[in-house]
A and B are shown apart, each in its own frame.
Chain A
């Protein structure tokens, strides 16, 4: 039901907009504090400022204060598109006497209902404050406990991972190895691999083609390229080339996405993040990933038909999308924005739930301009829109006055491939203007793909060229990060250009 409802209608029905499709009785009641504005972002309104260490004008939202995050249980349970998976075991699927998998072992999704909101004691759904890495860990813990065929592996995952995403999983879910006396401590379902990305990818394919649920970790997205052949030539094409006889649908790659800008979480945030990590690499300076700890390689995989690419923006999204990715019948690359691992905190439902792939989400409705992005730049855009509405004195002369009331529609693409063009096109047909923002370079990037599709599908409605605000077509130079990444100023600058 929800899947077939247009995303925007659903947003509204959840938010209790009476002019839209009548909300089903079982659906959640409206959120009181959002019912008035019917938007998630309250740009220009007073921000309940938590300790913000951002550079930039006071009051500008950061990841720590973002209204994109659900800070209350109610808001978390109202997450757009969420569906519960209360089944006790997801895998292995039931088999007939011949040992064949019964086709259509139908997933039993449970729609959100008002009952979720009653107190936890009385059977309501629980939520817990989590940051992004905890949400990722939670998703993997659910997978390991419900799916007896699932395994989690990669470099250094056994002790918890260099980003803590697999903390405690080996102890909790792995049987100890009863092997050679000097076998390293570890487990059979959560384990370290030798340091070989092509090996990890190929190994995962081997597991998946034998019916195991394989969650492979590539330590940094920058190091996914040695596995490019296995991912593009093998994983992506496995089902197609074997006439559907074999597939690696139960394979998921998790990988760390760009460092993102320091502005997104502030110097202190980045500092804290790395200090706590204890990542034993001297060259990995505070907030500066340089060439090989910063890349956003999603566009390289756009041409790999058969593959899905997903990038979440927050803990709730990370958990729901990762569970969908793991259970999707296709190999999925799940890029986790590592700048958000610790800086991004919200209330996350404790139960097992999924969020739909290939479905963009409208974070804020507007009628003048569409901005499409994914991952950390969404917080940059949030800050930019604040700047646009409340320019500080030093830039007031640069921000045209008539732009201050601009109504921007902000879209989180979430799935990069296959992406949800319908939501984007509906929006651009309404607003007539579009800007795509991402950290990766411009040429051949996701923005190029979107811009081409938008101009083809919205030609008659477009009032300005589609713009791309992206990283430059250079490698990610370490000390140049500030000017390399699209920041709030660049977004504002493009908004003014877009408006003529």
Chain B
């Protein structure tokens, strides 16, 4: 067993190039010069951890003829390599074996084009909404800059009925699933049409059962054991045979206790689930080096008995194929599989954050320039004659127009009726009404608004909502 484990380490002798981890970055004066050496390792990179080596009960180890002759210590120079197919310029690496090249060719061309268009859509959306936050039109926003390849690339690999549990920086999944732009804007603007949260949650907390996208909540990591439960539910549901649960999280969220709980439960209890970690190097201001000391998140998978792959998150093709393979294994094995996508958070954490306070703007610019998932995929598509500058321009204009149209629509809309403040706390009672104490409190609000509603203190706010004061008076 032990010798097999050390074999795994041998595979991991080459460091990743994605220059996100400060530890790695420090050792690499020039990230690009490492690209050649990384490419040597990719063949063995996919699913480099052996499942059998950690699934035997400990009693088996004790019968093993292998004895330790020294105190084992983790060698910090061992790094699990990241699976990648494209180099920084978007060229398929020469050493990619035929089987993967064949898989690439089997993917319908429309998929790659849709993938690129969906990726393009994110910065278009982010630019408009982030600036609208700056103008005070929405209260909050979070961009996806830099992670378009990881999020959309993986989204393309899931089946449309796979249940997605997201953290918050995965709007790309909804974009891929053709979530109506009007619904998206309604959520961000908390309008009367906001189906996702009826104006109750902050912007970017999307959710849509029609798109099998579970409503996002702010507490980090909570979705991980929930995804384990959902996966178990799929296992028990013959009518959902072939479906999978997808659970996204950032590398910061993996420090939560719920990560441990969720991974362990999923592994022990089974059920199809892909855990997808977006390792973008930062949790707000905390660099990954202050988040963990081991080899990222991928190194933890085997400890739970979970098959694992690390992938270059800025290579949309690699993300797509690795995710597809991970999903296949999860569904066929009715078990969890872990994907760690290495990328870089190019944008600020959120509109409430100025990342120049903890990292150099030059670093960000150089990453944007040297390692953009959009650039890589675009150049790959152009080499295959699937894309052109003309298409690029036309798509940009069209996307911007549709975003601005939806934006203008949502900006004009009323906020939800005040009634929604009390709705949905509990399910309806048998008599169809609210719980006693909420009914009383709602009537108290009605009384207050009846008395003070026309005052300058309240009037403007009250009228902004659907039905305004008049609707409240009818309660």
Contacts and interface: CB of A to CB of B under 8 A. Distances in A.
Interface of A: 3, 107, 149, 151, 179-180, 182, 188-189, 191, 193-194, 196, 198-199, 201-212, 214, 226, 229-230, 233-234, 237-247, 249, 305-306, 308, 328-330, 358, 418, 420-422
B425 interface: yes
A188 B237 CA distance: 11
Given A206-B165, A240-B424, A418-B438, 13 more contacts: A3-B431, A196-B265, A199-B225, A203-B265, A205-B229, A210-B233, A229-B222, A239-B424, A239-B427, A242-B215, A244-B423, A418-B437, A421-B436
Nearest to A239: B424
A489 B195 CA distance: 57
A243 B226 contact: no
Interface residues of B, number: 56
A245 to B, nearest CB: 5
Given A194-B264, A212-B236, A207 B229 contact: yes
B466 interface: no
A238 B438 CA distance: 17
B230 A210 contact: yes
Given A196-B264, A202-B222, A330-B427, A226 B232 contact: no
Given A199-B264, A330-B426, A245 B215 contact: yes
A198 B258 contact: yes
A206, A210, A420, A422 interface centre (most CB from chain B within 10 Å): A206
A207 B225 contact: no
Contacts of B208: 245
B207 A245 contact: yes
B215 A246 contact: yes
Nearest to B224: A202
A203 B437 contact: no
10 contacts: A194-B265, A205-B229, A209-B214, A230-B258, A234-B226, A241-B217, A243-B198, A243-B215, A249-B427, A328-B427
B74 interface: no
B425 A210 contact: no
Contacts, number: 166
A203 B209 contact: no
Contact of B435 (A208, A243, A358): A358
Contacts of B436: 358, 418, 420-422
B425 A214 contact: no
B421 to A, nearest CB: 10
A420 B436 CA distance: 8
A281 B280 CA distance: 45
Nearest to A202: B225
Contact of B209 (A238, A246, A306, A418): A246
Interface in B46-78: 55, 57
A206 B207 contact: no
B198, B219, B226, B262 interface centre (most CB from chain A within 10 Å): B226
A206 B225 contact: yes
B313 interface: no
B226 A206 contact: yes
Contact of A233 (B194, B215, B222, B233): B222
Nearest to B196: A243
B201 interface: yes
A202 B229 contact: yes
B234 interface: yes
Contacts of A211: 233
B207 A182 contact: no
B163 interface: yes
Contact of B262 (A199, A214, A247): A199
Nearest to B233: A210
Interface in B341-374: none
Top 4 nearest A-B pairs (CB, nearest first) are A206-B229, A202-B225, A329-B427, A199-B261
A242 B196 contact: yes
Nearest to A420: B436
A243 B219 contact: no
A388 B151 CA distance: 71
B160 to A, nearest CB: 14
Contacts of B200: 240-241, 243
Contacts of A210: 163, 229-230, 233-234, 237
A182, A202, A239, A244 interface centre (most CB from chain B within 10 Å): A202
Interface in B252-311: 257-258, 260-262, 264-265, 268-270
Contacts of A193: 265, 268-269
Contacts of B165: 206
B39 interface: no
A201 B209 CA distance: 22
B235, B270, B438 interface centre (most CB from chain A within 10 Å): B270
Contacts of A214: 229
A207 B233 contact: yes
A127 B230 CA distance: 38
Contact of A202 (B195, B228, B268): B228
Contacts of A212: 233, 236
Nearest to A149: B236
A243 B231 CA distance: 23
Interface in B117-134: none
